[in-house]
Amino acid sequence: MTKIQKKILITGGAGFIGSHVVRLFVKKYPDYRIYNLDALTYAGNLENIKDVENEPNYKFVKGDIKDIEFINSLFEEIQFDAVIHLAAESHVDRSITNPNEFIETNVLGTANLLNAFRDSNKGNFEGKLFYHVSTDEVYGSLGKTGLFKETTPYDPQSPYASSKAASDHLVRAYGNTYGLPFVISNCSNNYGANQFPEKLIPLFINNVKLSKPLPVYGDGNYTRDWLYVVDHARAIDEIFHHGKKGETYNIGGFNEWTNLNLIKLLCKLMDERLNRPEGSSEKLITFVKDRAGHDRRYAIDAGKINSELGWKPSVTFEEGLALTLDWYLSNDEWLESVTSGSYQEYYKKMYS
Ligand code: NAD
Ligand code: DAU
């Protein structure tokens, strides 16, 4: 972007990826005023961004993107220059048990933000931007070969992926119909500090720590392309400032792993850290019923963001995974607080 952005709304900034994006923007751009809007659902946690809460260019706003009146009055009051939209229901398994929650938050919530951004700008979008953060799951599932490109047709397979695909379509439609300036990025699987332990990597770290079974869905030969969360935040920064309006950028780690191979590596690294005999964590692997409609393989062609914006991951998978394991092992309090209460109910329902 050419013009300096003054007031930036980041939605979902108390969640996993959002907290890393908020931290990067607050620290790197003291001239920007960063508003973090988050409803603090089970996945949102102000502890994730405690280190920036007293920064002068940061403000937390508790609120729900589903609440039309609240969203409209917030946009009228603050007149944001840009929105970086991450707030969403994000866990595929939860979308299988409760799809409506995903449609309401991810589709209607995004529509509310688009309407409010359009209306508060009153037709003058000079220097404005709506950045929509999306997922590679909108493209569906790959066979043994091939990569998701920006031109790959949408083919979402889960209620979560469909709700994200619908929100992507809405953003593009608002660009086409109302001239609303936007960018969209579709990223592969993230890992790193502060990820809620319902997702594969933090769930398995916690279970290894507690010597609990490691529930591998199906045959475990599903492939994901893993990216360190700080590198996703760096990519969002690049796209926000230098991406072309109206464009889509795929973001990925150039880093495909089958779940089983990844889990075995994680077990080995955990044994080393916990001073357990080699092979002891692997014994916790337990094959369980497969996820319904489980996508076989995701892999991103991140050539466009690499060649146009010069972005590439800054850490190797081995480095990122080591940082992640060390973070979880030295943040017992965080892990214990997010796995108490309603997490126990969720876990029982999912895995018993
Ligand atoms: P997360 O579940 O950790 O965090 C989501 C955040 O959104 C939470 O803080 C939650 O409180 C907030 N939120 C949820 N509903 C809200 C509502 N109605 N109003 C306001 N806030 C609400 O998710 P994440 O993994 O950090 O993902 C962030 C975004 O990135 C999502 O849009 C997701 O689709 C996308 N994404 C995630 C990944 C990944 O691997 N995690 C990969 C690609 C894209
Ligand atoms: O690709 C990007 C997407 O990555 C994001 O859009 C989603 O928000 C994010 O949750 C993630 O989706 P996945 O479904 O790929 O992530 P998850 O961590 O839930 O699962 C990763 C793989 O591990 C998947 O093949 C399912 C498998 N799995 C997962 C869990 C939780 C298991 O085998 N056992 C488990 O208990």
- Domain encompassing residue 95: 6-191+226-255+298-315
The answer to whether the CB of 180 falls within 8 A of the CB of 117 is: yes
* 121 lies in some domain: yes
From the candidates 58, 160, 174, 249, which is the catalytic residue? Answer: 160
Strands 189-191 and 256-258, by their bridges, are unpaired
Count Cβ atoms below 10 Å from residue 82 Cβ, excluding itself. 21
- Confirm whether 120 is domain-assigned: yes
Ligand 1 lined by 203 (C-beta under 6 Å): no
Residues 144 and 297 sit within 8 Å (Cβ to Cβ): yes
- Residue 5: the pLDDT is 57
- Annotation marks residue 69 as catalytic: no
Structural domain includes residue 86: yes
**What is the number of other CB atoms lying within 10 angstroms of the CB of residue 221?**
12
264 within domain boundaries: no
Cα(348)–Cα(215) distance, rounded to whole angstroms? 12
Structural domains in the chain (count):
1
The verdict on residue 211 lying in a domain is: no
Asked, for residue 321, whether it belongs to a domain, the answer is no
Residue type, 91: H
**For ligand 2, atom 16, which residue shows the shortest CA distance?**
199
User: Is 276 domain-assigned?
Assistant: no
CB-based contacts of 92, cutoff 8 Å, min separation 6: 137, 158, 160, 161, 291
Q: Read off the amino acid at residue 320.
A: G
Residue 3: the pLDDT is 46
Q: Which listed residue (89, 136, 237, 256) is catalytic?
A: 136
**Does ligand 2 have an atom closer than 6 angstroms to the CB of 148?**
no
Please report whether residue 209 resides in a domain: no
189 lines ligand 2 (CB under 6 A): yes
CB 198 within 8 A of CB 91: yes
For residue 217, list its beta bridge partners.
288
d(CA 201, ligand 1 centre) in Å: 16
The CATH number of whichever domain residue 166 belongs to comes to 3.40.50.720
CA of 3 to the centre of ligand 2 (A): 38
Q: Which atom of ligand 1 is nearest to the CA of 105?
A: 18
Helices (H), the chain: 16-28, 68-78, 92-97, 99-102, 109-121, 159-178, 200-209, 229-242, 259-274, 303-309, 317-329, 332-338, 342-351
Instruction: Output the six-digit token pair for 121.
Output: 């700008």
Q: Which of 92, 256, 298, 343 to mutate to test the pocket of ligand 2 (most atoms within 8 A of CB)?
A: 92
Q: Running along the chain, 352 residues long, what does each successive block of 10 average in pLDDT? A: 72 98 98 97 97 97 98 98 98 98 98 98 95 98 97 98 99 98 98 98 98 98 98 98 98 97 98 97 98 98 98 97 98 95 92 89
